[in-house]
Chains A and B, each alone.
Chain A
Amino acid sequence: MYPQVIFQNRKPNRIATIDEYRQSGGYQALTMALQKYSPKEVQQAVVDANLQGRGGAGFPAGLKWKSVADDAPFPRYLITNIDEMEPGTFKDRIMAHADPHMIIEGTILAGYVVSAEKGIIFVRPSYESSALILEREIRIAQEAGYLGQNIMGSNFSFDLIVHRSGGRYICGEGTAQINAIMGMRAHPKQPPPRSTEKGLWDQPTVLNNIETLVNVPHIVRHGAEWFKGLAKTKASSGTKLYCVSGKVNRPGCYELPMGTPLREIIEEHAGGLLPGSEFKACLPGGASTCFLGKEDYDVEMDFEGLKKCRNRLGTGAVIVFDQKTCLVGATLNLIDFFVRESCGFCTPCREGLPFIRDLLWRIEHGEGEEEFIPILHRMCAHMWKSYCAFAPGASMPVTSLLDHFPEEVHEHISQKKCPFKS
């Protein structure tokens, strides 16, 4: 059993209360920060701790905060991203249902670092229960004096609200999320300007994933070195919530040291594959990552480790496929999702993905032709020239299917049917 940091107060059947959170050291970090540390010092601690953004890209949180200029105008905003819609990912929901005050404290601390006066927790509509919990607990935190004017006698004031999303995958993208909050279409927006210069209502805005922020109180309390020591690998730090789903005995969300090998996650923590099943492949970090085959079964599950095998950690959501699962069918299912969730702004994503889906559908349904394969390769490569990272992400399972499982694809075409279907 590894040390549980984020899940330290997780109960099998209920939500941790503010008192339970405080007993475990909750809100001590905020008290310390407001009394002893300047925003810069808290920021430096997070930079030193090498806290990599947990939303998928792994960009260091401390550096993101640093990009808010000292003389940036006010008001500034902080957004906590709980628009969790990556297929196979459910850690945010579990965090909100386990220990909501950890989210609140992390958000307040981040707000303190960037001198924000308002925080917004952006919650997807399917997570209505999380929104209700957070709203209730925010009120409790307000009554306890952790939110509002001059928090705990300091000159830092911070308000926090819950914003319910209209609900779309693209709302998880930071700039699209900011547009959505403003009541506009959830389209991503390329810099310049960066959101940290001109974001929500054209004011400096920092947007972090909730799993990133819950680590901040612990870094403040225990220090950067402690945080780094939690990880299994040198390049990474802290723990990671791995969501395991698919053909395993114990699917679920596990807090493990960052860099825990894939084999260990699946075989020890998730209880191995189902009886009669063999590991064929997995998606290591949600739908917008590459299929990872048996040859990389021992990969260390951190940002660096997956980069080495030309894959991505993404959200750390491991979706496990066995030898009886058709990967063409699985890819078609993923592409269906991406086709539906495209915001429709740029051409490759809006029109190119449906083209790719059509070709995959034909292959899966026995109408495939060998000439489809170079078309798929070409189009997937061109997805990288679209406006945001959505279409490149969507192309990753397709490209990796063609690269790692070409025989399976050819079999579909030559047999004029899906070999996994009788």
Chain B
Amino acid sequence: MPKLKIDGLEIEVERGTKVIEAAARLGIIIPRFCFHPGLGPVGACRVCAVKFEEGPVKGVQMSCMTDAQDGMVVSTTDEEAADFRKHVIEWLMMNHPHDCPVCDEGGHCLLQDLTVAGGHGIRRYLGKKRTYNDQYLGVFVQHEMNRCIQCWRCRRFYQEFAGYRDLGALQIAHHTYFGRATDGQLESPFSGNIIDICPTGVYTDKPSRFTGRRWDFERGPSLCIHCSLGCHIITSARYREMTRLEARFSESVNGYFICDRGRYGFYYTNHPERPRRARIRTEEVSLDQAIQTAAQKIIQINQKNGPKAIACLGSARSCVENQAMLIRFCRVQGWNEPTYFETPTMAKKVKRAVARLDEQLAVSMREIEKADFILAVGADPVNEAPMLALAMRQAFRNEATIVVIDPRPVFLPFEFEHLPVAPDDLEPCLTALIKGAVHRSAAEKMGEEALRFYDTAPAEYPDAPIKNRMVKITQKLRQSRYPVIICGTSIVRETTPDVAADSALLLRAARGRAGLFYLMSEANTFGAALLSSEEGSVMDVVESIEKGSVKGLMLVESDPFRSFPDYERLKQAVDKLDLFLVMDYLPSFAARLAHLFFPTQTLFEMETSFVNQEGRVQFATSAYRGGIPISQISAGGHPLRVFRRDIPGGESQPAWQILAKLANIISLPGREMFSLSKNELWSWIAKEYPIFANVPIADELPDDVRVHLAQGREKLFPSGGQIRSGGLSRENSTLELVMGDWTFGTEELSTYSKYLQQVEKEPCLFMSPKDASMLGLKDRERITLPLDKGRLEMELRIVDTMAPGVIVMPKHRQLAWQKIEKWPVKVAMGQIRK
């Protein structure tokens, strides 16, 4: 490892480390504009010049472009280097508008810092300043080109790192311009990152514009909960209002960046209609009063109908604490355990995925970047979990082969092989690829079960065009040194998570190394699957209500009206209830129907934790104390000068604390009393679920704690002999309905964001050209789709990147798709009409 000396301090670094990074490890921060650790060096701004006094490189050179080498003696304070850096800053400031007082970057601006640090104070340039026209870049990003210092970071992120082309460099020389060919909403779902990485105020956060200086905000580390990946974020809050999110660096999860759904999805927490008071029917009451009333009702039902007459639904967007307390609550009361999943199929899929993910196979997003072959099954990353697409793109940039087996019209910002097959064909298509690349002897070495799996799995995919493409893909897979399987859990069959895990085991046996990455539907789906011991689903609860065995229903941060496939049936069931109790922070449909409502705190108001799809237990600190945003009660005037002890609208409490209080009232004498201490709750979790025993709940925010179910307990290769090549004998007269996601417009919390609502696409139904021509339908025609409980009207989109024999309908906030009796949905072809 090279050893070098910087400003008299010696340091040893790994080969390939740049001098600028080596210096940073010594605490010497060499100025930089173009260099960004996530994007790498490029040598454009020239402000990181240092003097190389001894060693293989001599003279003033860029520290970002020079690898640390043995024997280097580097001076960052050398007169010539410092003078050059000062000149670079002077040149950059020639045309800068000096509009810091009205610039949102002011106060955390790299250009401001380095201008002061570099000692450039007196303007020597006598000429006129160059000016530019700014562009409208959409609802997220404010453009102010005059501030630009042409560091190229935005263009490098947008085009090279993220793979989108609509923002880039135009013009040359001192007219170099960063923007779009014409005004318009940025197309990339990662566009907000250019705000974070811009070293000055060219791109600023539009929704939070002019809301405060960096030091005005309460800022803290938190987590993104708008998909299952759990990216790390920094919150900013002011005047009892969440104002802005930025990416927080995470070594294992998201690196330096986040997606726009994560960045602009948080507005549910400030939502003007957010319920902030407890209610009995429509009457607002104090939280204590509501708890007392609820306790009485619960005791009545329990006495009359027994402990099993009240069912509880939790949700996968709720934190570990809420999920755990709800389970503990039910166990102490002798109730049935709470349910976290809409349908039994979903429960089973998620539980299987969680059971099969072990320490050796599980890979993080950052490890995906290092894979040389990625095989995604039933996953649509840009729409389901955008940051995964960004990680896959980094693998692509490192020359990985990427294959997606999915019936939906999957788009990714890079070249990949898409095998659009029907949902029933996902498994045979996957195993055909694996068998093509893994020799039978590898399975043989793994034992009888593996061999049975190998021998009984379909070896060939019968559809000729796809089969031909698979030949080339298997060749690549045979050469892979690090293949990773990504498996979705939304559209796949119940057995697919097992087949994916078994495939990964075979690949590991054959290639020496392999990874497995499950995608789940929500931020804490993994936690819910770990904690809940039953495989019950909302479907079972609805049936019990219909049968009359369940009289009361308690929802904890759950809105089944959004996700349950049959709205009418659910509504009728809820109408039958004697007690309908809802705890939430969203102005959800369920909240409106509640007999008793309790306002809970959002992630930003409490200390909390989530388990991402990789089994990573992650912690978030509270951003602020909650309450109604001052802007909402002062009508834009000067902040009110009203003095009171409480926080207006600050009655919300963590759902788990409300549950604890409720439990302590209804519990019979002699039963366990619940504490309101988070540590006490965590010691209960650790006791009941030993895999959580090693999770530290200290103040620090660990990035590397994963919980996986014990090794060797699970039966491997359970799907041996079960993989059908069934879908291949497809009925021609029906189309299977496959549900999809939109990046914006599907995920529950972010659909409450007024900014994301502006960038949603219109709801539509996707169909393959083959099926469309059989039906005589044209692209962009309005059509009606018959479902079990009525028809749905929407626009038809004909795309050739999807499987024939299926129709794809992304769930959309504006689409009342909940008219389905049971999965899978087959639609008779003739029934789809204009």
Contact = CB atoms under 8 A, between A and B. Distances in A.
A345 B47 contact: no
Contacts of A352: 87, 91
B171 interface: yes
Interface stretch (B119-127, B366-374, B546-554): B119-127
A360 to B, nearest CB: 11
A382 B83 CA distance: 9
B175 A351 contact: no
B174 interface: yes
A66 interface: no
Given A345-B152, A355-B94, A358-B127, A350 B173 contact: yes
Contacts of A382: 83-84, 87
A60 interface: no
Contacts of A375: 124
Nearest to B95: A351
B767 interface: no
Interface stretch (B38-46, B251-259, B270-278, B735-743): B38-46
B46 A351 contact: no
B92 A387 contact: no
Given A341-B173, A344-B175, A355 B45 contact: no
Given A375-B124, A385-B49, A344 B171 contact: yes
A185 B177 CA distance: 13
A364 B525 CA distance: 73
Nearest to B171: A344
Contact of B94 (A343, A346, A351, A378): A351
A358 B150 CA distance: 20
Interface string B511-555: 000000000000000000000000000000000000000000000
A344 B124 CA distance: 22
A190 B44 CA distance: 11
Interface in A354-370: 354-355, 358, 362
A350 B150 contact: yes
B94 A190 contact: no
B45 A350 contact: no
A387 B34 CA distance: 13
B173 A347 contact: no
Interface in B135-184: 149-150, 152, 169, 171-176
Interface in B10-51: 43-47, 49
Contacts of A386: 46
Contacts of A354: 94, 127, 174
B120 to A, nearest CB: 13
A347 B91 contact: yes
Contact of B174 (A185, A339, A378): A339
Interface string B101-138: 00000000000000000000000111100000000000
B88 interface: yes
A346 B126 CA distance: 22
A185 B169 contact: yes
Contact of B87 (A343, A346, A379): A379
B174 A346 contact: no
Nearest to A369: B126
Contact of B46 (A190, A353, A387): A387
A168 interface: yes
A345 B47 CA distance: 13
Given A347-B47, A355-B94, A342 B88 contact: no
Instruction: Give the interface centre of A342, A343, A344 by most chain B CB atoms within 10 Å.
Output: A344
Given A342-B172, A342-B174, A351 B43 contact: no
A348 interface: yes
Given A190-B65, A355-B125, A350 B94 contact: no
Interface in A107-132: none
A324 interface: no
A294 interface: no
Contact of A350 (B49, B126, B176): B176
B174 A347 contact: no
A340 interface: yes
Interface residues of B, number: 30
Interface in A48-100: none
Given A346-B45, A382-B84, A386-B46, A351 B169 contact: no
A344 B92 CA distance: 12
A351 B84 contact: no
B79 to A, nearest CB: 12
A343 B94 CA distance: 18
A344 B127 CA distance: 19
Given A190-B43, A355-B91, A385 B126 contact: no
A100 to B, nearest CB: 31
B126 A358 contact: yes
Contacts of A362: 126
Contacts of B46: 346-348, 385-387
B20 to A, nearest CB: 16
Given A168-B172, A339-B174, A347 B60 contact: no
Contacts of B173: 339-344, 350
A348 B91 contact: yes
A128 B197 CA distance: 43
Contacts of A342: 172-174
Contacts of A190: 43, 65
Contacts of A355: 91, 94, 125, 127
Interface in A208-231: none
Interface in B541-575: none
Contacts of B47: 347
Interface in B657-692: none
A358 B84 CA distance: 19
Given A339-B174, A344-B175, A351 B92 contact: yes
A190 B95 CA distance: 28
A340 B173 CA distance: 6
Instruction: Give the interface centre of A341, A345, A351, A352 by most chain B CB atoms within 10 Å.
Output: A351
Nearest to A341: B173
Contacts of B171: 344
Contacts of A168: 172
A235 to B, nearest CB: 27
B606 to A, nearest CB: 47
A358 B95 CA distance: 13
B157 to A, nearest CB: 16
Interface string A370-406: 0000010011001001110000000000000000000
B91 A351 contact: yes
B87 A378 contact: yes
A344 B176 contact: yes
A352 B94 CA distance: 9
B153 to A, nearest CB: 13
Contacts of B65: 190
A87 to B, nearest CB: 16
Contacts of A347: 44-47, 88, 91-92, 149-150
Interface of B: 43-47, 49, 60, 65, 83-84, 87-88, 91-92, 94-95, 124-127, 149-150, 152, 169, 171-176
Given A347-B46, A347-B150, 12 more contacts: A185-B172, A190-B43, A342-B173, A343-B172, A343-B173, A344-B173, A344-B174, A348-B87, A348-B91, A351-B174, A355-B127, A387-B46
13 contacts: A190-B43, A190-B65, A339-B173, A342-B173, A344-B150, A344-B169, A347-B46, A348-B46, A351-B92, A352-B91, A353-B174, A355-B125, A358-B126
Q: Which 6 A-B pairs have the closest CB atoms?
A: A351-B91, A344-B176, A358-B127, A342-B173, A344-B172, A344-B173
